[in-house]
Amino acid sequence: MHTENNNTAVPAPRTPRRKAGPSRRYRVMIAYRFLLAIFGGYALAALVAMVTSLGFPEQQASATLSGTLLAFCVHTGVFIWVFMVQSTRKATLGVLIPAIIFAVAYWLLKK
């Protein structure tokens, strides 16, 4: 299941930390990431769907369906991203920047 070299990544002391319980800061960070993944991910997914469906006017029906299929994958991807990266700021930017890009693209396409 796991390779030997993974053992190095595992910290030994677990129990003492557990007893103290997670700090408030940690709780807020986790709650923030969940909100970011759920709502930020949804917003980005919706924008991807909108841009994809408008981006290919000659095959609009296919593009619309593709965009919607893609949207669910994007939302899942955001979830993975938000919890994969170490820094909370990086996680936020990783959602925010693509969202801005797609929002601008949508705005341009709509014009």
Partner 1 sequence: MRIDGKSEGPRQSMSWLHTWVGLPLGWLLFAVFLTGTLSFFHQEITVWMKPELHQSLATQPQAQQLQTAIDALQTRAPDATAWNINLPSNRQTATEISIRKPGDDPRDRRGGERLTLDSATGEALTARDTRGGGFLYRFHFDLYGIDRVIARWIVGFATLFMFVAIISGIITHKKIFKDFFTFRPNKGQRSWLDAHNATAVLALPFHLVITFSGLLLLMFMLMPWGIDAAYEGGRQDFFQAMNGRPVQQGQQQNQQRGAEQQREGMQQRNREGANDEARAANREAGERREQQAQRNGERQAGGERQANNGNREGRGGNGEGREQQPTAPAAPLGDLVAMLATAEQQWPNKTITSISVTNPNRENAEVEIRAQESDSLLSRGQQPSMKFNGVTGAVIATPEAAAVSIPSAIYNLTTLLHMARGADVALRWLLFLSGLLGTMMVASGLILWCVKRAPEQQAQGYKSFGYRLVERLNVATIAGLPIAIAVYFCANRFVPVGIPLRPEMEIKFFFIAWLISAIHATVRPHRSAWIEQMAIGAGLFFIVPIVNALTGGRALWSSIYHQQWTVASVDLACILMGTLLAWSVYKLQTKPAAVVKARKTVEKPVEKSLIQAEGQA
Contacting positions for partner 1 (CB under 8 A): 1-3, 6-7, 9-11, 14-15, 17-19, 22-23, 26, 30, 33, 45-47, 49-50, 52-54, 59-69, 71-72, 75-76, 79-80, 83-84, 86, 106, 110
Q: Taking a C-beta distance cutoff of 8 angstroms, is the pair 62, 52 a contact? A: no
Q: How far is the CB of 31 from partner 1 (least distance, A)?
A: 12
Distance set, CA 111 to CA 30, 41, 55 (Å) = 39, 25, 12
| C-alpha closest to that of 29 among 78, 77, 87 | 87
In the numeric block, the tokens 């994958």 are attached to 73
Query: Measured from the CB atom, is 46 or 99 closer to partner 1?
Result: 46
The nearest distance, CB 99 to partner 1, in angstroms, is 13
